[in-house]
Structure 1
Amino acid sequence: MSDDAKAMSEWVTAVTRELGIEVGGDAVVDTVLDLTSDVAHGVSRPAAPVTAFLIGIAAGRADDPSVAATDYARKIAALAQGWNADTERGVASNDQSQRA
């Protein structure tokens, strides 16, 4: 394990302990890092932490926050990957009028 990975793991453990929450371990960290990378490169760097925060709020309201966070991260990562200032924005994943 690299020094950065060890520091990240220790940090996440300390933060989750301090907040009194449990997360899905390294898989959640990897999901968040992938998401923020997609947003930073596809939208803007400042949008990455804000997006992670918004997903955290939404996931915290779900019955199973860990599952919801992973699902939301995948949806938003796909939105960020298709984000382009020269084209029309994507349709929200929860827009029922756009479903087949």
Structure 2
Amino acid sequence: MANNEGLQSTHEWLEEVSRTLGVSPDLTRSLVGDILKMTADVAHNGPSRPAAPTTAFVVGVATGAALQGDTDADAATTRAALAKVAKLLETYEQD
């Protein structure tokens, strides 16, 4: 049985992260299933569980770079986004 409360919390979190990073919450929502499937596949059928989130990161960087026509992603921009998420986590309260 799915934990609807946990799922709701996840969606709320992703919506807040999307807004914080200037990404459309609608875009995020539309891709959640695909991202979760990919990370599950990497974690269970790939090299290791830690490869799942880092693979998702690389997919995101590649997507952003492709949209900007930039094949050399800027690490500082990525670190700035990670810092924003870290700051958001400081205020995140788990029930």
- Confirm or deny a common fold (TM above 0.5): yes
The structure 1 segments of at least 4 consecutive aligned residues displaced by more than 3 Å after TM superposition are: none
Unaligned runs of 5+ in 2: 69-95
Match of 2:10 among 8, 23, 30: 8
Match of 1:34 among 14, 37, 62: 37
TM-score by length of 2: 0.60
Aligned pairs, number: 64
TM-score by length of 1: 0.58
Match of 2:54 among 39, 50, 56: 50
Q: Which has the higher contact order (CA 8 A, sep 6+)?
A: 1
- 1:18 is matched with 20
Aligned-pair Cα RMSD in Å: 1.9
Q: Deviation digits for residues 33-72 of structure 1, max 9, x if unmatched?
A: 10000000111101000100000000011239xxxxxxxx
Q: Give the fraction of aligned pairs with identical amino acids, expressed as a percent.
A: 41
